[in-house]
C-alpha cells in the first residue's frame, strides 16, 4: 500500500477557497484514495514556520493572497512562468526534497480561453491593474499579436502596468478608468477588478460584444457578465480560470495526466450553488 500523501491551500482569508472542493474531486475521480487536501489560514508572518514543519508526506501546496510573492524566498527553484510575474501559486515537493514554485494562473487563463475557441486575438483590453492584471498580461503575451490597453485608476498603477508590459514583452498602452467603456469594444476584454467595480459598465456593453473574461466567480454572474451574455457575447468566468489552473496543479502534484476537468468543474459548480442557496 502506498503512503498517504497530503496537499493544501494556504492564504488569508481562506475560508471561502474552492480549491479543496476541486482537488478532492480530482482525487476521487483518479482513484487517489490515500490523498488528502486541506486549507490553512496562513499569512506572510506564519508562512516560514508552516514550511519548517512539513514532513515527507507533503506533495504540494496551492497559494492564494497574500502569499504568492512571500513564498519565493522559501523555495529552491521557480519556473520561468512564475518568475515572469514574481508570483507563485503552486509549490511541488520533489522526491529529493526540493521545493519548486510554479504559476498555473497564467497557463490556466490561456487554457480557459482556448476551451472557448480563442487561440489568438489581435488586440485586447484589461480592466484593472492589480496582481491578477499582471497575470492576465502574461497570458495575453502568449495569445495577443497586437496592442493591449489597460484601463486603470491612477498614474502609479499605469506606470506599473507599463513596466509589466516591458518585462513581458507586450505592446501596452494605459488609459484612464473614466474611459473604461471603450474597452468593451475590444475583441477580448479581461476584467480583473474586485466585485462591484465594473457594475456601472453594464449599460455600455455594445450590441455585438466579442469575448469577456471576468475573473470573478462569486457573486456570479457579475452585472457586466450578465449584460454581456444577454447581448450574445462569449463569457469566460473566474470559475473557468479556477478549474483550469487547478487542473494543472493536480497534474503537477500527483504526476497523473490528464486531470479530470469535467468532474472538477461540476464539483465547483455544485459548491457555488450550495453557497448561494444558504
By annotation, the residues acting in catalysis are 68
C-alpha to C-alpha distance for 78 and 73, rounded to whole angstroms: 10
Per-residue burial over 144-157, b if 16 or more Cβ lie within 10 Å, else e, is: beeebbbbbeeeeb
Cell digits for 11? 492564504
Contact in structure between 104 and 251 (CB atoms under 8 Å): no
CB atoms within 10 A of CB 70: 17
Dihedral pair phi/psi, residue 179, rounded to 5°: -100, 20
C-alpha to C-alpha distance for 273 and 253, rounded to whole angstroms: 28
Please list, in sequence order, all residues whose beta carbon lies within 8 angstroms of the beta carbon of residue 237, skipping any fewer than 6 positions away. Answer: 214, 216, 217, 220, 221, 225
Radius of gyration of the chain (CA): 19
Dihedral pair phi/psi, residue 213, rounded to 5°: -110, 105
Amino acid at each position: 500500500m502506498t503512503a498517504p500523501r497530503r496537499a493544501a491551500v494556504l492564504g488569508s482569508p481562506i475560508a471561502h477557497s474552492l480549491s479543496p472542493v476541486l482537488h478532492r474531486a480530482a482525487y476521487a475521480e483518479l482513484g487517489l484514495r490515500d490523498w488528502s487536501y486541506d486549507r490553512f489560514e496562513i499569512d506572510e508572518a506564519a508562512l516560514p514556520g508552516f514550511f519548517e514543519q512539513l514532513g515527507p508526506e507533503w506533495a504540494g501546496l496551492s497559494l492564494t493572497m497574500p502569499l504568492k510573492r512571500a513564498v519565493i524566498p522559501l523555495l529552491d527553484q521557480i519556473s520561468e512562468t512564475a518568475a515572469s510575474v514574481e508570483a507563485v501559486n503552486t509549490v511541488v515537493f520533489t522526491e529529493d526534497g526540493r521545493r519548486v514554485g510554479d504559476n498555473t494562473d497564467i497557463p490556466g487563463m490561456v487554457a480557459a480561453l482556448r476551451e472557448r475557441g480563442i487561440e489568438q486575438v489581435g488586440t485586447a483590453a484589461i480592466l484593472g491593474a492589480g496582481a491578477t492584471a499582471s497575470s492576465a498580461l502574461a497570458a495575453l503575451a502568449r495569445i495577443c499579436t497586437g496592442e493591449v490597453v489597460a484601463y486603470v485608476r491612477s498614474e502609479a498603477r499605469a506606470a506599473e502596468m507599463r513596466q509589466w508590459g516591458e518585462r513581458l514583452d507586450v505592446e501596452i498602452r494605459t488609459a484612464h478608468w473614466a474611459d473604461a467603456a471603450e474597452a468593451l469594444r475590444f475583441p477580448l476584454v479581461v476584467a480583473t477588478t474586485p466585485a462591484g467595480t465594473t457594475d456601472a459598465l453594464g449599460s455600455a456593453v455594445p450590441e455585438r460584444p466579442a469575448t469577456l473574461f471576468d475573473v470573478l466567480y462569486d457573486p456570479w454572474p457579475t452585472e457586466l457578465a450578465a449584460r454581456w451574455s444577454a447581448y450574445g457575447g462569449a463569457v469566460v468566468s473566474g470559475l473557468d480560470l479556477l478549474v483550469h489552473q487547478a487542473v494543472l496543479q493536480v497534474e503537477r502534484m500527483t504526476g497523473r495526466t490528464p486531470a479530470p476537468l469535467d468532474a472538477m468543474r461540476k464539483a465547483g459548480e455544485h459548491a457555488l450553488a450550495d453557497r448561494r442557496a444558504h
